[in-house]
């Protein structure tokens, strides 16, 4: 093992040995090298005469660039666009995002957590979690209504085993009992489990009630108290898009500093929240269970994260970090966000109005939804994939089939005035087949 990796592991172990136990082999071995980046950073401070360290081209005291590119980006200073961004992301962006998280999640007040490290959006954050904490055969606990990409990241790439629990009870609540039982069993088998809490959920569009959120946290705490290590990850990709009476914060705030055997990790980003999917700007934030020793453990985890970033993608795109900084500083930002929130909320409520008419009850029911981009129909007798193909071939309507019975509808991309027609078409297509 590299001495720098050992140093980080020792630092963590000194303060919270459970966190070292949570790390995968790669997580234990990774470190941030004192290589070119560290030497360049030192030179940035001290090399007043010539700085021949940086791996970009410069001229006239700034980055070299092509005018045909800069002409299209003239609102931005070339230095904020063309050079590499720091490996943990631009410091201004990190502190602006930290302030935003705190503003929007009052339960984070008074908690100790790291500065968010910039990722190339949430998928990259999930992959960092996989690399650091999911070893071969490690258990990852998820609901059976899940974003399919988790299987690829944690299963195929990291060799973890996805353990699914039932998502909803028969009466339409979140199935806390199923979560508790699955977590207890899977954690006990390995002495460790990685839990992914994705609310608003893809594909169901559900966010738990406050009581359900508290019950999820209590279940995690019980398992930690029984002697199992839990890496509790909140995938807050659709954060803020809460349209009804649900939890309106990330569970990260309640999981942070809760128990030495719980490491809370928050993944979030501008992707869906700020409607900038292609920017690829996200964040990973850690909260250790042991409040006394938090800074050291958090610093070591940040360094390990930077090591993974350096090894896999070197650093995240700079222009989009600059664009997000500008947005977060703009007085227009909250006003425009609220406008778009209302559009999305209007669509979600319209879907519910249309479905609650009773018109389609012979063919489908629907899973609970109250947030995010999606909702799912539960077909009573038709095969979801058959219906999907028929909708596409005969009516030119695209949906996503999930398993035998579920059809996911992204109301995020259907105008409110077209929602009635969309469901009428799906109903007609279902009747064609039955
Ligand atoms: C639950 C969930 N997490 C993460 C992501 C990935 O987000 P990003 O585009 O920021 O990588 C998605 C995207 O569909 C998602 O649905």
Q: What is the pLDDT of residue 291?
A: 66
CA distance 166 to 182: 9
CA distance 25 to 134: 9
DSSP bridge partners of 163: 141
CA distance 402 to 385: 8
pTM here is 0.96
SS3 labels along the chain: CCHHHHHHHHHHHHHCHHHHHHCCHHHHHCCCCCCHHHHHHHHHHHCCCCCCCCCCCEECCEECCCHHHHHHHCCCCHHHCCCCCCCCCCHHHHHHHHHHHHHHCHHHCCCCCCCCEEECHHHHHHHHHHHHHCCCCCEEEEECCCCCHHHHHHHHHCCCEEEEECCECCCCCECHHHHHHHHHHHHHHHCEEEEEEECCCCCCCCCCCHHHHHHHHHHHHHHHHCCCEEEEEEECCCCCCECCCCCCCCCHHHHCCCCCCEEEEEEEEHHHHCCCHHHCCEEEEEECCCCCCHHHHHHHHHHHHHHHHHHHCCCCCHHHHHHHHHHHHCCHHHHHHHHHHHHHHHHHHHHHHHHCCCCCCCCEEECCCCECCEEEEEECCCCHHHHHHHHHHHHCCCCEEECCCEEEEEHHHCCHHHHHHHHHHHHHHHHHHC
β-strand pairing of 192-198 with 139-143: parallel
Task: Tell how far the Cα of 280 is from the centroid of ligand 1, in angstroms.
Answer: 10
Task: Tell how far the Cα of 150 is from the centroid of ligand 1, in angstroms.
Answer: 10
For ligand 1, say whether the CB of 147 is within 6 Å of any of its atoms. Answer: yes
- Does 41 have pLDDT greater than 70? yes
Q: What is the pLDDT of residue 38?
A: 76
Measured from the Cα of 277, ligand 1's closest atom is 9
Q: How does residue 294 score in pLDDT terms, banded at 50, 70 and 90?
A: low
pLDDT tens for each residue of 114-172 = 999 999 999 999 999 999 999 999 999 999 999 999 999 999 999 999 999 999 999 99
Measured from the Cα of 125, ligand 1's closest atom is 11
CA distance 222 to 330: 43
Task: Tell how far the Cα of 234 is from the centroid of ligand 1, in angstroms.
Answer: 12
Q: What is the pLDDT of residue 293?
A: 54
Domains and CATH numbers, the chain: 3-32+87-329 (3.40.640.10), 333-433 (3.90.1150.10)
CA distance 152 to 290: 32
For ligand 1, say whether the CB of 368 is within 6 Å of any of its atoms. Answer: no
pLDDT tens for each residue of 243-259 = 999 999 999 999 999 99
For ligand 1, say whether the CB of 371 is within 6 Å of any of its atoms. Answer: no
- φ/ψ region of 191 (left if φ > 0, alpha if ψ in -120 to 50, else beta) reads left
The preferred substitution site among 202, 207, 234, 412 for testing ligand 1, maximizing ligand atoms within 8 Å of CB, is 202
Task: Tell how far the Cα of 13 is from the centroid of ligand 1, in angstroms.
Answer: 32
CA distance 423 to 155: 35
Omega before 203 within 30 of 0, i.e. cis: yes
- What percent of the chain has pLDDT above 70? 99
Minimum mean pLDDT range among 226-235, 284-293, 312-321, 378-387: 284-293
Minimum mean pLDDT range among 31-35, 96-100, 352-356, 417-421: 31-35
- Does 290 have pLDDT greater than 80? no
Measured from the Cα of 269, ligand 1's closest atom is 10
β-strand pairing of 229-235 with 262-269: parallel
Angle value at C-alpha 252, between 26 and 216, nearest 5 degrees: 100
Q: What is the pLDDT of residue 75?
A: 95
Which residues are within 8 A (CB) of 434 and not within 5 positions of it... i.e. 6 or more apart?
363, 381, 382
pLDDT tens for each residue of 81-110 = 999 999 999 999 999 999 999 999 999 999
Across residues 235-250, what is the average pLDDT? 98
CA distance 116 to 98: 6
Task: Tell how far the Cα of 100 is from the centroid of ligand 1, in angstroms.
Answer: 20
For ligand 1, say whether the CB of 268 is within 6 Å of any of its atoms. Answer: no
């Amino acid at each position: 093992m590299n001495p720098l990796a050992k140093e980080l592991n020792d630092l963590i172990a000194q303060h919270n040995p459970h966190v070292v136990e949570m790390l995968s082999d790669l997580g234990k071995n990774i470190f941030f090298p004192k290589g070119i980046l560290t030497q360049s950073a030192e030179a940035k401070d001290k090399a007043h005469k010539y700085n021949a360290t940086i791996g970009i081209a410069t001229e006239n005291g700034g980055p070299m660039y092509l005018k045909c590119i800069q002409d299209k980006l003239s609102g931005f200073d070339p230095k904020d666009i063309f050079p590499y961004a720091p490996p943990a992301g631009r410091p201004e962006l990190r502190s602006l995002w930290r302030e935003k998280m705190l503003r929007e999640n009052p339960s984070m007040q008074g908690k100790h957590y790291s500065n968010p490290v910039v990722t190339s959006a949430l998928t990259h954050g999930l992959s960092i979690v996989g690399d650091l904490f999911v070893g071969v055969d490690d258990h990852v606990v998820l609901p059976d209504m899940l974003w399919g990409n988790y299987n690829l990241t944690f299963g195929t790439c990291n060799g973890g085993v996805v353990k699914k629990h039932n998502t909803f009870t028969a009466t339409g609540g979140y199935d806390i009992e199923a979560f508790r039982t699955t977590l207890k069993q899977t954690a006990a088998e390995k002495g460790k489990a990685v839990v992914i809490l994705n609310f608003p959920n893809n594909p169901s569009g559900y966010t738990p009630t406050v009581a359900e959120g508290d019950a999820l946290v209590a279940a995690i705490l019980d398992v930690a108290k029984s002697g199992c290590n839990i890496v509790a990850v909140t995938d807050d990709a659709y954060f803020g898009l809460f349209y009804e009476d649900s939890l309106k914060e990330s569970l990260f705030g309640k999981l942070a500093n809760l128990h030495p055997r719980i490491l809370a990790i928050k993944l979030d980003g501008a992707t869906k929240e700020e409607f900038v999917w292609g920017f690829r700007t996200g964040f990973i934030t850690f909260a250790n269970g042991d409040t006394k020793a938090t800074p050291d453990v958090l610093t070591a985890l940040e360094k390990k994260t930077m090591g993974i970033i350096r090894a896999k993608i070197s650093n995240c795109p700079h222009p989009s970090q600059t664009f997000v900084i500008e947005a977060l500083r703009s007085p227009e930002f909250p006003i425009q966000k609220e406008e778009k929130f209302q559009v999305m909320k209007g669509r979600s409520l319209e879907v519910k109005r249309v479905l609650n008419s009773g018109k389609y009850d012979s063919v489908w029911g629907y899973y609970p939804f109250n947030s995010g981009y999606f909702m799912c129909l539960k077909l009573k007798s038709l095969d979801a994939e058959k219906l999907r193909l028929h909708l596409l071939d005969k009516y030119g309507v695209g949906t996503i089939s999930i398993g035998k019975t579920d059809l996911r509808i992204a109301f995020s991309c259907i105008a409110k005035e077209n929602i009635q027609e969309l469901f009428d078409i799906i109903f007609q297509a279902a009747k064609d087949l039955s």
